[in-house]
Amino acid sequence: MHNLYLFRNLQTARVLVSPTFRMQNAILAQIGEHRAENKLRGDHWVPFAVLTGIQNPTTVAALQHRLVRTTQPAHAGGRYKLPLPEVKRIPFAPRAAKPEDPLALQPASVLHASPTRRPPLRQWEVPASVDEKMRELCRALIVAPEVLAETADDSADFDSPNRYTLWCERDEYWHRVEESGQAGLLWPEFVDHKRLRLLRNRYPLVPGFDPKTLADSPIAAPAEARHPGLVDA
Cα separation, 156 vs 163, whole angstroms: 9
Residue 87 lies in a domain: no
pLDDT digits (tens, 9 = 90+) for 55-108: 999 999 999 999 997 554 444 444 445 565 666 767 777 777 777 776 677 676
Q: Spell out a b/e string for 96-118, using b for 16 or more CB atoms within 10 Å of the CB, else e.
A: eeeeeeeeeeeeeeeeeeeeeee
- Which of 159, 167, 174, 165 shows the shortest CA–CA distance to 205? 167
Residue 8 lies in a domain: yes
Residue 20 lies in a domain: yes
Residue 89 lies in a domain: no
How many distinct structural domains can be found in the chain?
Answer: 1
Question: Contact, 225 vs 162, CB < 8 A?
Answer: yes
Residue 163 lies in a domain: yes
H or E segment to which residue 198 belongs: strand 198-199
Residue 179 lies in a domain: yes
Query: What is the full per-residue pLDDT of the chain (233 aa) written as tens digits?
Result: 899 999 999 999 899 999 999 999 989 989 888 777 788 998 999 999 999 999 999 999 999 999 997 554 444 444 445 565 666 767 777 777 777 776 677 676 665 666 667 777 778 889 999 999 999 999 999 999 999 999 885 545 555 667 899 999 999 999 999 887 777 789 999 999 999 999 999 999 999 999 999 999 866 554 444 433 333 43
pTM above 0.85, yes or no: no
Question: Contact, 141 vs 147, CB < 8 A?
Answer: yes
DSSP E strands, 30-140: 45-54
For 33-169, where are the alpha helices, taking DSSP H only? 57-67, 108-111, 128-143, 145-151
- Which structural domain range is residue 30 located in? 2-73+125-226
